[in-house]
Amino acid sequence: MKRGIVIVDHGSKRDESNAMLERVAKLFGEKYSTKYDIVEPAHMELAEPSISTAYKRCVERGADQIVICPFFLSRGKHWKEDIPALADEAAKNFPGTKYFVALPLGVDGLILDLLEKRLSGINDNSFSEPLLK
């Protein structure tokens, strides 16, 4: 079974916001290329690629199992209802595939570390977007 990963955010009318998720998906794919060879970005609404488009791209790249990974903090309506419905609709076009929706980012020590990293920049008046290392 070959697995595809779809990292999905809400989607935005702002191109810069949508481009950020595409960068995250690209960097994630590069960093974990030995574990996940198919990684695609998707936006739940307002922008392409949609979940349906990303699902299709995964299948075209050989995936028969798709994991939808929400780039969300909590288990809200989008995680519980919207994303599964959109994934289910996409899966209907590919009957030989299965999909799963992963947990959102949630409360995690790494999130706390990231918050501290952002706050520590306040001390030196550095409010610009940091580069990923």
State mean pLDDT over 38-64.
Answer: 97
Average per-residue pLDDT in the chain? 92
pLDDT on residue 123: 60
Give which of 40, 51, 39, 55 is closest to 11, Cα–Cα: 51
Instruction: For 73-104, write each residue's pLDDT tens digit.
Output: 999 999 999 999 999 999 999 999 999 999 99
Q: Which of 8, 10, 25, 43 is catalytic?
A: 10
Q: Which domains, and CATH codes, for the chain?
A: 3-107 (3.40.50.1400)
At 46, the pLDDT band (50, 70, 90 cuts) reads very high
Say what the pTM is. Answer: 0.88
The residue assigned the tokens 């936006």 is 43
Residue 78: active-site member: no
